[in-house]
Structure 1
Amino acid sequence: MLAALEDAAGDLGRLDATAAVLTNSEALARLLLRAEAVGSSQIEGLVVGARRLLKAEVLRERQQDVTAEEVLGAVDAMTWVTESVQAGDKLEIEHLLEAHRRLMAHSPNPELGGEIRYLQNWIGGRSPAEAYYVPPPAHLIPELLADLMTFVRESRLPVLAKTAIAHAQFESVHPFADGNGRTGRALIHLILRADGLVQRTVPPVSLSLATHAAQYVEALTAFRHVGKPTGPRARTAANQWLLLFAAACSHATAEAAGFERAAADLKDAWRERAAPVRAGSAVELLIETLPAAPVLTLAGAARLIDRSQQAANQALARLVEARVLREVTDGRRNRIYEAPELIDAFTLLERRFASPAADTRIEPPSRPVPSRPVPTRRRH
């Protein structure tokens, strides 16, 4: 078990080191962050494909997609985690509360955001009597969260062991009326960043956990039991969960590394199709930053590359002509563009994660995923 955790930690470290030498790794990290939010939300039954999510993000102010909006809440929470926590930071309860506020801000119940529950909750069944798990009563939660965050700050366990145990304990406490699962998975990334294991990328661990959701729930359920903490039952349950978590981290890093290579190859192909591309030009900047926003508007493109709308418009037109982008709206106002090859690569990433064999042609997806992209024939 310790060897599996060490291997997974090494995988995460190598993924982060690779991101350090990639051109504009921040753009890829933003897309992997969305993959993590998609996976975390799928575990809770919120199923939204890549294209739908990315389009909903662009149209957020103009047209509301209720399910996508909830997934975007997970994106907002994870964005805050990556922008607010650095190596060496001391994590406090307020970090959990703020992540939960961001998550719930656009949910049907935003008033629950950042508020510790004051009523008893339960998991499964229509009442506590029928539940398969009843979390601790509300009056114990402040003390239990304080104990959890002390463990997070002071434990000398290997980072991944500490992260896995902290996540399982958070899920056992279940401190909120809603959004516990997604906040608990955000806690994973809070710890990985604060402990310095991951700084430049976002390994989509939740996409792997979503594929093995039954084993994930089973392992967390076994982890919480009444009995001696050092007894054989406790050791078996802890090992079961730690091995599953280590496997999810290794799976996430392998798929993320493959996706980063695919994205880098795409950018090289785009430069060839749009050639000549002058260094520092609006076209070059847009190619480099497209992974951060594969669906975008003119205003979004101008913000992304920090150039005028005129320069951004010319770059968009050039990339449409080069078949890097395509316009997906009619009319001259509020045009929306997408990078179909990048979205297809993102979709294939989802599909690989969803197959227990990491290939849907060998073993079908174990959960809902977008259809396999249809290859398009290119004009020459």
Structure 2
Amino acid sequence: MDAAEFSLNAPGQVIPIATQGASTVAFLPDPLPPEIPVNRHLLRAVETARAALAEFVGESRLVEDISLVTNPLQWMEAVATNRIEGTHTEMSDVLLQKAAGPSSDPTRVSSNLEVLRSLEALEAGASWISEGRPLSLAMIREMQSLLLRDARGGETLRGRFRSSQAYIGNRAQGPASARYVPPPYEHIEAAMDNFIRYVSGEPTYSVLVDCAIQHYQFEAVHPFEDGNGRVGRLLIPLHLLAQGAIERPNLYLSAYFVEHEDEYFDLLKGVSTRGLWEEWIVLFLEAIRVTAGRSRQRVRRLLELGDIYRLRVREATRSQVALAAIDLIVRQPVVTTSQVKDHAKSSYPAAKTAMESLANLGIVNRLDSRMYRQQAWVAGQLIDEIYDV
């Protein structure tokens, strides 16, 4: 990283360092809050994002079973946030591993586990906030620890702030050519103490603007050896939940950031190098606006498909087990016969017959694969229209 990249507007200190036998610079962001001029352009972006979010929250209240809102959106987030980090998985593969157990392909199992651990970390953080506990460093460490539960060598990195210099870039080229070098590790404790005071206090600007600021700050400090991007993006809905901007952890921006990945990373760095706060915040607010609208559409379509499937079943059969299976499938689009049996409180043969009838109706497909431990049934239309990133 070159010191010449940083203008006088850079909101922090450029610190000369020597690491891995090379001389370069690191960046230490200033303590929060920053001074950001508020103009009409920014205010319009705030109001537009707030209105879209309010519509999504309002419609979500009308859904009796809140899992129909949260489940698909959480799965999308888990897949998308890992995709940003270079772990490319198919939604159907991850859902299959969750429902039917690991496949016989170790590479696929490992990638899917990263997604599943992201889901666990998000659920742990949401439970923490739902219990009335504030955002805290302990919660952040716990989430990072869950993310790295299956990582090779992760035991020494889990739940601890880093104790060495990190850099973001091509490992083969070394830190001098890094895209970004976060602050030396001895600054992390103070930076994270300031960070947690900011996110758990009263809003400085507005909840949505503060959320954009805290996401930048977390990524700039880069407190962990691994998992910073994923933890930072999982903190977005948790911050909004803790501040009362949303009522459930159901607004996830990673899919938008996947679509605008270059702009996302360029503006995160642009804040550090040139103080591009307004440009970054406007992008973040646009991510909220677009995501809230898309989430509303996905939930509406999920409810619509559930009604369509129930109507097909009622027209074709009197099976109450088949209807109960539909209730399960709209919550999780990959199921096993055993899961249907348990959900419907039926016998195994009755559950199997019900799923075969759903297959005949084109609602599910049977996956006859020796790669998984159990036979699974896949609702492909639900995955394609509702779950896929």
> TM-score over 0.5 for the alignment?
yes
Match of 1:174 in 2: 222
1:116 matches 2:161? yes
1:300 matches 2:300? no
5+ long unaligned stretches in structure 1: 226-232, 351-380
1:340 matches 2:380? yes
1:32 matches 2:73? yes
Match of 1:247 in 2: 286
**Structure that is richer in strand per residue:** 2
What TM-score do you get using the length of structure 2 for normalisation?
Answer: 0.80
Amino acid at match of 2:117: G
RMSD, matched Cα: 2.5
1:269 matches 2:308? yes
Aligned-pair identity (%): 27
Deviation by residue 1:272-291 (Cα, 9 ceiling, x = unmatched): 11005999944333323323
1:43–1:213 contact (8 Å) kept in structure 2: yes
Match of 2:122 in 1: 78
Number of residue pairs matched by the alignment: 338
Q: CA deviation at 1:298?
A: 2.2
Task: Call closer, same or farther: CA 1:104–1:309 in 2, change over 3 Å.
Answer: farther
Aligned partner of 1:164 among 193, 206, 212: 212
The separation in 2 between residues aligned to 1:279 and 1:250, in whole angstroms, is 43
5+ long unaligned stretches in structure 2: 1-41
The separation in 2 between residues aligned to 1:209 and 1:155, in whole angstroms, is 27
Amino acid at match of 1:260: V
1:92 matches 2:140? no
The separation in 2 between residues aligned to 1:200 and 1:113, in whole angstroms, is 27
Deviation by residue 1:222-248 (Cα, 9 ceiling, x = unmatched): 1124xxxxxxx53xx110110000011
Deviation by residue 1:10-33 (Cα, 9 ceiling, x = unmatched): 322321221221242313411110
Q: Which has the higher contact order (CA 8 A, sep 6+)?
A: 2
The separation in 2 between residues aligned to 1:161 and 1:306, in whole angstroms, is 46
Q: CA deviation at 1:169?
A: 0.4
Q: CA deviation at 1:160?
A: 0.9
- Which segment is superposed worse, 270-279 or 30-39? 270-279
The separation in 2 between residues aligned to 1:279 and 1:261, in whole angstroms, is 27
Task: Call closer, same or farther: CA 1:34–1:330 in 2, change over 3 Å.
Answer: closer
The separation in 2 between residues aligned to 1:309 and 1:114, in whole angstroms, is 44
The separation in 2 between residues aligned to 1:315 and 1:23, in whole angstroms, is 25
- Which segment is superposed worse, 258-267 or 169-178? 258-267
Task: Call closer, same or farther: CA 1:28–1:325 in 2, change over 3 Å.
Answer: farther
The separation in 2 between residues aligned to 1:113 and 1:215, in whole angstroms, is 30
Task: Call closer, same or farther: CA 1:322–1:28 in 2, change over 3 Å.
Answer: farther
1:167–1:188 contact (8 Å) kept in structure 2: yes
Task: Call closer, same or farther: CA 1:149–1:280 in 2, change over 3 Å.
Answer: farther
1:1-380 matches, cutoff 5 A = 1-61=42-102, 63=104, 64=106, 65-86=109-130, 89-111=133-155, 112-125=157-170, 126-156=173-203, 157-200=205-248, 202-225=250-273, 234=275, 237-275=276-314, 281-303=320-342, 305=343, 307-310=345-348, 312-329=351-368, 334-346=374-386, 350=389
Amino acid at match of 1:220: L
